[in-house]
Amino acid sequence: MTTQTAKASPLVAEHQALKASFTDFAGWQMPVKYTSELAEHRAVRDAAGIFDISHMGEIFVEGPGAAAALDYALVGELSKVAVGKAKYSLMCDHAGGVLDDLVTYRLADEQFLVVANAANTSVVLSELTTRTSQFEVSVTDRSSDYALIAVQGPASESIINSAVPKSFTNTVHALKYYAITPAVIAGYQVLLARTGYTGEDGFEVYVTRAHAVPLWRSLLEATTARGGISAGLACRDTLRLEAGMPLYGQELTADTNPYEAGLGKVVRLTKEFVGRNALEPIAAAPTNRTLVGLKGVGKRAARTGYSVHRDDIDGAVGTITSGALSPTLGYPIAMAYVASGVAQPGALLVVDIRGKKEPFEITALPFYRRS
């Protein structure tokens, strides 16, 4: 149930009617599961799942200086993004630590939508406001104006196309990954993006809060008609883990830099941006630790915070950031920061799971890639 002090999705009554279990997520009461995490996970892999992710932050950056402002505020080169496209990027602090990982959509030449993680929306808003003050630009938090619904899985395109005008179905089919377009779904004006956090084909639908309930109901009906179900944040976490996608607060923090997280490719040192002076020497030198994937040999899952060891080295060589028994693969998987000197693919390490050393093998990310 929601509390009076919690932030609430406009869809909370819909989730209650579906007998969802709720969890607090960055001050939001969000559905963690409806039936079982395993059933919801498998539905997304096999057919589709529909998620309420209205806790995400929507910040608009607009004006003649918007592209240049974002180039300075983020590590990526947003000015090179075409209208209708999106880019994954990072906001770093002056020391090079990650403040948030973000998806930014270019809606028009002078209009960008920056989507922040729920726990970081206020930080991102504050930093964007400060960092862009020298540019001709406005920064507006419109998170309270929008709901965000994700439809993920192999049947997602069919689900979306069942709710758009027939004349628009070819546009949906042609929409590329990390692209966005205005659309009419179930009769409502939305922004339709081909993005997601599950490792499957999928869409994220930005809709005004006033239209969130009827849109959710329409998409849920289309989802269940195609063998899918409503899905909560618990299975979203195991889906993203299988896909090797980082989670802020676990793989990414202010104490983490992009290079040790394997995200150096999103940094553009050829431009000026906040954190560049710190990241330039980091990029030129080997990192002390590296984010790796771990595949368990047994059946016991490693969990966040568990220590990682190598038999011939005293003390821990790393720490688990995320771990679970993979519903798709059937064995334990995890991500961990380990000392770069032991981070060779195929290397055998052990994880201390409640006092027992369990063997894990370093493996390439992602663990799962859709066919």
Q: Which helix (H) or strand (E) holds 213?
A: helix 212-225
- Are residues 149 and 190 part of one domain? yes
Q: What percent of the chain has pLDDT over 70?
A: 98
Q: What is the pLDDT of residue 5?
A: 43
Q: What is the pLDDT of residue 7?
A: 87
**Domain coverage including residue 89:** 1-285
Q: Above 70 in pLDDT, residue 4?
A: no
Question: Of 256, 285, 314, which residue sits at a domain end?
Answer: 285
280 is in an annotated binding site: no
Let me know how many helices (H) and strands (E) the chain has, helices first: 9, 20
Structural domain includes residue 102: yes
Structure tokens at 73: 């505020």
Q: What is the pLDDT of residue 239?
A: 98
Q: What is the pLDDT of residue 1?
A: 30
Average pLDDT, integer, range 332-346:
98
Structure tokens at 2: 């929601």
Tell me the residue type at 93: D
Any idea what DSSP says for residue 199? Answer: S
Q: What is the pLDDT of residue 6?
A: 61
Structure tokens at 117: 């993680």
CB 220 within 8 A of CB 51: no
> Which residue carries 């003390």 as its tokens?
315
CB 184 within 8 A of CB 163: no
**Residues 6+ away with beta carbon under 8 Å from 284:** none
Question: Of 224, 258, 285, which residue sits at a domain end?
Answer: 285
Q: What is the pLDDT of residue 160?
A: 98
Average pLDDT, integer, range 132-161:
98
- What is the pLDDT confidence band of residue 3, given thresholds at 50, 70 and 90? very low
Looking at the 3D structure of the chain, how many domains does it have? Answer: 2
- Are residues 148 and 138 part of one domain? yes
Any idea what DSSP says for residue 11? Answer: T
> At 30, which CATH number?
3.30.1360.120
Structure tokens at 342: 């032991």
Q: What percent of the chain has pLDDT over 90?
A: 97
CA distance 102 to 104: 6
pTM value surpassing 0.85:
yes
